[in-house]
Structure 1
């Protein structure tokens, strides 16, 4: 038998190909290195039974060596582990208690839960206190009734979101790959193993059967794999809860004729077959829940306003003025526009860094989650920690790039006269090595005097110099080997900030670029031309502030285009656009092409979020 953590360690080794250090594993799992070493004893035994050895080397870490076919086979074996073959730790027991309560009508006693999990009654009573903690952010409560038992109470949609959160977080990438591949590639022979427990497993298999039978390759451009997984699991949860007599609100039957697009018709057809087989009515709100369009008919979300309020709230609480970072605003607006538009409000997001973010940045995570609860009106979304943790990543990037104090090495440059080519060399070295700050340049006779008046960490000189700080002797006009020697010394001096600054040191994108003045002028003029053309095509009828925000966004978009820093296109892969948006999309795209801006679709989609507010 494997414990829950040993199970995760085994899965981790199967999913990585490079060695991983025990220290990194201890950080990831939040335990000591001694605990990880103890867990690895059972992990090694399991791999030995499978005919493999867990390799280890002090300077590298641990890893397994085998081909992809063997890895896939072992993943299949591991995924087919019965739940009782893994010793449940407390976190797993808490989730199984919640699942049991969500899939049961009425109350469950501590004795019943004790028998289910095969632990003592006292252990269950202790676990139930952690159930309360788990449910804190979900607007769901654990009701306790003496001599009767326990049950969960809350809004039906909230209860389903808790169910989603638990199931999503129990899946790894390989399981998700297998679940979606069985439909998209018709690979029914690929076993998915025990990813869901009864009674969900039987319902899931029935839903998968009907979805696979109706799926066609023409749906691929309309349906992301994350949406496909969402449909599958929500169909499962919908039937499971309806079987217990729990509808979302009303009992209004779905009217098929109001849905005409291909994706909606596909989902309606799947639901008709599934619900007919399990003898349940197809209700309108169940379709809206499964499709993710529960809020589609409500007032549109003010994504621009929410973005500003979240940044302002986090700035005040964390004591860092994030409002000064325009890139944070642009990136966060792009992220929220995608997540909060077109009814994708309840889509669970899979964030592999969620646990690490919550563990290493607990204060920022709590602040961001509070901001989301406060400003995202549809509060059901933020029951999912994965959503908040993705927002946290935007603030972490902003802090690292804009607000974190960056250590620079203060350099004195010594040349023959202290003038001449000194300014040219200062610009060249600082461009090649951004962590260098040449605070002064002087002649050989002035070195001692300058070192007394300036804080100097390093001397770069065309002559041998005696000094109390490191000295690098270079050619009168530094050549490549001189630059590399300076770079090496700077890296050594930076110390603990090495990883961050090393990336900075390697960033030579602007070396030998066009003249900065003419390039800046071109960007400004191009930004003005594009903004003017779009404002002519889509006149603003609201307050002037909208125009200012829109103008700023267009100028930043042009800047991103020139420096090849556009929004990540993969975030918008297979983005499903409303019919009413397509005409606007093509019109904006045509205007930009006329201005010789061939930007990503991701940029255009973000622009139309502004324009839609003015209609």
Structure 2
């Protein structure tokens, strides 16, 4: 028998997911109903029986999974059995065609592309048009000649940039495997070459103290293999003298020389000086480098410090250890400088999740990244922006979190400090009895570790290992809660046997049951999808924490201290803050200066939650005559917003809405010229959506 497209996709999803996954999560992943999933599972089980493999297993309250034996044998059967295939999307087909054009040395015609992508002639022609549009963005051109077929022309630098941007999928993905297979078809010695490059990079990692994850080593090895491929064909990079001089002075140049020397010996190649400089660029652009190996970029530390200061100002929080925040952000920003300067794209698989789940932090990061853009002389793309937002978000969640230490858990995360801190914070909130430690590679897993959470594929550690995304969805949290606690013999999920039997008994009173075993299984499947529900902490909107009773209008005040006291008075009267909080705000301004001026005519005094906040709140004082927070004219304010935050996160949605409102100068004028509290409240309501 053969599997249809959806059943094939479902089987691939089950193979890639190493722990049980619920029917609901499968339905959301494939965007189909629960009934459709059960129907496709029946088809898969029939196919597995035909192949003499174990059926898909089901664990109550956890979900379904493929056994280890079946998971190991299915890929070989899929390759041998042409009746089951993965169906590539249009975007994936475009990448397959690009890789073929970039790596093939023979003639390529339409039929080769059709065989590779498994689509019709018209669909393939549409894919080729899309490929041409992509190449045009890189100043490259795809041409066709009867004698040569399809081929690519243009700058060697841009050709390599296109390869790097195209060949950036997870190593275990179906698309990545197909791209590698396609390239191997054109070059039978490719895999041996990649293995040699992998050994070389692993050795360099130790020699130059580079902190590379296994995923980064693999990716770099494939990139090196492509560079070797191009040099063998006679295509070399050309850099201007000034660039070469600057790169020669970099600490990474020594590592590039070693790479060039080893490649020359292993592959009998002559590596030109320009190529050594190109290797240097790559080493400089890698994430997770140790601080010792990082290039010193004059002025960058100052830029990062300004970013951290502004982030605290706009988010109305204070980092306890702001030097550590600066230092860790600097370690990420330095290689990002080279990526942006030389156009090396770093695909961030979490960008969409960051924007959706940490939208307020992402928007605050956008407000401070202009310091980098001015320094770099280029726009910071959303993928890099998301990494910086993850850094800030990770530190916001890290401060104040002290997990109860009972068992030792290790988090293997390859995406940097910010990402790992976000993941660590989420896991700590789920499992209070685990003591978490973050590492960047499996070699650093402690000997006393009892459980492993990882964002990358790792070899079997003979420990309970859970593959997770850096940003967990509600469904993933539910599944982890159930499965991890069961693994640790700390299950808190009440057995549903009694409830299932009661339902079955009730059905028997009013209907004839023809297949009690099957009915029991289906009831358990339904109940198992309704076990735990995890939700992020509620973040109120702007008009939920500031209303008419907290808004005041006044003609003038004698001093900025009086302005702060008057603006905070309604919050004090309602016992939302204490007198100590008002004193702390005034002390902060005395010690730190007029940092509370965040926009022309606008001040947001605030202090730390522990200084006397009883409940999240905000107050507004509108002055007819502005008050000066210093002798400088730019430090005068007519709008005094008091913020009383209870933690580093709950106030961020309201603050983001306030920021949107104040980013428009017309809105500031409207607030300043408002004559009634209702006028002020009306504009606040408009932005509280």
TM range (shorter): 0.3 to 0.5
Which one has a larger percent helix, Structure 1 or Structure 2? Answer: 1
